[in-house]
Chain A
Amino acid sequence: MAWLSRPLTLVGLVLLAHGCYSAHEHTVLSSTSAQHSTSPSTAALPLDIYIETAVATFLLCVGLVLGSGTLKPIEWHTWAGKIEREADRSLSGSGDADDATGNPFSALEARSGFINIHKLHGDFVKYSQQLGK
């Protein structure tokens, strides 16, 4: 449905502009004609201009809503499940920076403040020796 968004918005904008122009023309005309005739009905806008403006606004709204991106989850478990399930997409360029933070609590379990660098290095040496074999 995303392809509909731009044409709809465009049609809506054109219709709205047309409606405004018609309303303006009508008021100018009726104000000049009011000097000649005193009937009150000519001062009111014709119904088709009302309808045109309302339809144009509706089309604009639908077009803009269709064109907006997908909504972000606001429920905690949906958001957390998304983090767990999906791989990082920021490398491919489609994800934005907010998505790339991952589980905010994983740092608590990783415990960088207490990192045991000596053991990690020792394990890494063993690992690289295994790779070399």
Chain B
Amino acid sequence: MPPLLLQPHASLSHAEALQVAQQAPEFLRKNPASYSASPLLSLFSPPENSKIWTIYENLLLACLRTGDNTTAHQCLERLVVRFGASDERIAALEGLVKEAEATNNGELEKVLKEYEAILAEDNTNTPIAKRRIALLRTMGKTAESIEALVQYLDFASTDAEAWIELADLYLSQGLYSQAIYAQEEALVIAPNAWNLHARLGEILLMAAESGSEGNPQNYLAGSLKRFCRSIELSDDYLRGYYGLKRVTDKLLNGDSKAKKSSESDEFTLPETSTIEKLNLAATKKLGDIVRNYDAKAPLWQGYDAGEVAAARAYLSNTSQKVVR
């Protein structure tokens, strides 16, 4: 895993966000307030690299999250000095600061109006369009948010991030088949992303477990396929193996009644012996990962502690069932 400062901020836990926010004042002090474009002056100032601006953005988000608004404004100011207030991305960040400082719905409404005013001038301004969609979701207007996002995807159909957001929005509404469609679109854009394959597997598994629409067996077959692809793309991928074990357990314990109807559908389940082999492989790998992580093996420390704990709990849970 990369250092905390460079990781995408939304994936951090609260404790990690606090850790990042605490580094902000020191980072601001260490780095110069502005970089000169003159070649003579740049000889005497530290070199500017692209990572610095990613870090500023992450610090800004972390400070907003922890409520340290003065430091957040300092970070934003540096970004504005470097890129100018008219830059689309910077404008979106400015809007983000306003959103974070808004205390009631009325103020959020005002920010939304500002976004709409910007979009009325230039409706291809992607960062602002994304902020508007996110703000609609924040305000609880999920239906409007989905509508706006679908409109956005009409002209920016290669934006994988937006497709995933759409899948997440649909999923929050329990619309599984739409969520699966959106997630598949994201996979078309990034076919090698092993985490997206695992995510699609998880959505399919959720759809199978809810059992509200479609054939659950069909969803399980799709889910099995996706998890297999994710571990094919990445050795030792905890999330993929965990999902694979969940799916194969479910398939092996499930009733065989529904199996007959699945033959005509697009995904056919593999033989039971193959599923058993996959289950065994997943159990073995999960055991390896948990053991190596617990033993503090130096090359196995990249996993998320929570994910390892979940795998450990699930493994002990299923092994107890086998003993009984």
Binding site for B on A (CB under 8 A): 76-78, 80-88, 90-91, 100-103, 105-121, 123-125, 127-128
Expressed in whole angstroms, the Cα–Cα distance for A100 and B323 within the complex equals 43
Contact across chains for B134 and A116 when beta carbons are under 8 A apart: yes
Contact across chains for B127 and A118 when beta carbons are under 8 A apart: no
Binding site for A on B (CB under 8 A): 1-3, 6-11, 14, 17-18, 57, 61, 64-67, 92, 96, 99-100, 102, 108, 126-127, 130-131, 133-134, 137-138, 160-162, 164-165, 168, 186, 190, 192-196, 199, 232-238, 299-303
Tell me which residues across on chain B come within 8 A of A83, comparing CB atoms.
Answer: 234, 302
Contact across chains for A84 and B130 when beta carbons are under 8 A apart: no
CB-CB under 8 A for A109 and B236, given A102-B2, A120-B65, A124-B17 = no
In the complex formed, the residue of A with least CB distance to B14 is A127
Tell me which residues across on chain A come within 8 A of B7, comparing CB atoms.
Answer: 102, 106, 110
Contact across chains for B301 and A81 when beta carbons are under 8 A apart: no
In the complex formed, the residue of B with least CB distance to A101 is B2
Contact across chains for B195 and A103 when beta carbons are under 8 A apart: yes
Tell me which residues across on chain B come within 8 A of A118, comparing CB atoms.
Answer: 99-100, 102, 108, 138
Contact across chains for A111 and B164 when beta carbons are under 8 A apart: yes
For chain B, what secondary structure do more than half of its interface residues adopt (helix, strand, loop), or is it mixed?
Answer: helix
Expressed in whole angstroms, the Cα–Cα distance for A123 and B165 within the complex equals 20
Contact across chains for B100 and A121 when beta carbons are under 8 A apart: yes
In the complex formed, the residue of A with least CB distance to B108 is A118
**Pick from B99, B130, B199: contact of A114, CB under 8 Å:** B130
CB-CB under 8 A for A81 and B237, given A109-B196, A114-B161, A124-B66 = yes
Contact across chains for A76 and B237 when beta carbons are under 8 A apart: no
Tell me which residues across on chain A come within 8 A of B57, comparing CB atoms.
Answer: 112
Contact across chains for B11 and A124 when beta carbons are under 8 A apart: no
Expressed in whole angstroms, the Cα–Cα distance for A81 and B235 within the complex equals 4
**Pick from A81, A82, A123: contact of B14, CB under 8 Å:** A123
CB distance from A100 to the nearest CB of B (A): 5
Tell me which residues across on chain A come within 8 A of B195, comparing CB atoms.
Answer: 103, 105-106, 108-109
CB-CB under 8 A for A117 and B233, given A101-B2, A108-B193 = no
In the complex formed, the residue of A with least CB distance to B15 is A127
Tell me which residues across on chain A come within 8 A of B10, comparing CB atoms.
Answer: 110-112, 115, 120
Tell me which residues across on chain A come within 8 A of B301, comparing CB atoms.
Answer: 86-87
Expressed in whole angstroms, the Cα–Cα distance for A118 and B14 within the complex equals 14
Tell me which residues across on chain B come within 8 A of A128, comparing CB atoms.
Answer: 14, 18
Contact across chains for A109 and B199 when beta carbons are under 8 A apart: yes
27 pairs from A and B in contact (CB 8 Å cutoff): A80-B237, A81-B236, A83-B302, A85-B299, A85-B303, A87-B1, A87-B302, A88-B2, A88-B302, A100-B6, A101-B2, A105-B196, A106-B195, A108-B161, A108-B195, A110-B9, A110-B11, A111-B164, A111-B168, A112-B57, A113-B130, A114-B130, A114-B137, A118-B108, A121-B67, A124-B18, A124-B67
**Pick from B11, B99, B126, B235: contact of A117, CB under 8 Å:** B99
Tell me which residues across on chain A come within 8 A of B92, comparing CB atoms.
Answer: 113
